Amino acid sequence: MKYCSQCAHPVSLRIPPGDALPRYVCDHCQTIHYQNPKIVAGCIPEWEDRILLCRRAIEPRYGLWTVPAGFMENGETVADAAARETLEEARAQVRDCSLYALFNLPHISQVYVLFRARLPRPEFGPGTESLEVDLFTEARIPWDRLAFPVIRETLRRYFADRRNGTFPVHTGDIAPPPGWRGNPA
């Protein structure tokens, strides 16, 4: 951020009076521009003994597999967002979203909120952000071609739960990749 979105004057990164963290503050109109984490909403669509995965047609991780998920929009519930992403990425309508996992990725200021969801019929197809979409039994999950560590962790716990027949809500923190040099903003 370089300029104030309210008055177009330059902003400075400094700690406002009474605050504890540096913020982008407008030197002209004094507006404080807060930046906050984003929610990535997604789901595990279930059909019989299989789950739906999408192969990414976009960066990052082009060509790798993931569950339908994406940034939550203003005006939605988290479950709305998960269902919308599934419709957009996999052209599939899910029902009965049930909270399954909340994972923190503090190094990139994201919170993943993932649901289990019911796919009433095995009807799906690639949306514009997917190369292909398919149903997978546990034995056929492409573990070495999953797009993100948070997806691997979610699916690992999911199949363990399925063997146990119980689905508690999971929480956890996902560490940055080795050698990570980014910043969380």
Which one of residues 35, 125, 143, 175 is an interface residue with a second copy (CB under 8 A)? 35
Residue 37, token pair as written in the block:
């984490």
Encode 98-110: b = buried (16+ Cβ within 10 Å), e = exposed.
Answer: eebbebebeeeeb
With respect to a second copy, which residue has the nearer C-beta, 7 or 125?
7
Work out whether 75 is an interface residue with a second copy (CB under 8 A). yes
Q: How far apart are CA 177 and CA 108, in angstroms?
A: 11
Work out whether 73 is an interface residue with a second copy (CB under 8 A). yes
Which one of residues 25, 52, 54, 78 is an interface residue with a second copy (CB under 8 A)? 78
Q: Is 90 exposed, middle or buried (0-12, 13-18, 19+ CB in 10 A)?
A: buried
Work out whether 99 is an interface residue with a second copy (CB under 8 A). yes
With respect to a second copy, which residue has the nearer C-beta, 95 or 140?
95
The maximal CA–CA distance of the chain, rounded, in angstroms, is 60
Q: How far apart are CA 12 and CA 153, in angstroms?
A: 39
Residue 21, token pair as written in the block:
């963290």
Work out whether 109 is an interface residue with a second copy (CB under 8 A). yes
Work out whether 171 is an interface residue with a second copy (CB under 8 A). yes
Residues of this chain that bind a second copy (CB under 8 A): 1-8, 11, 18, 21, 33-39, 71-80, 99, 102, 104, 106-107, 109, 111, 113, 128, 169, 171, 173, 183-185
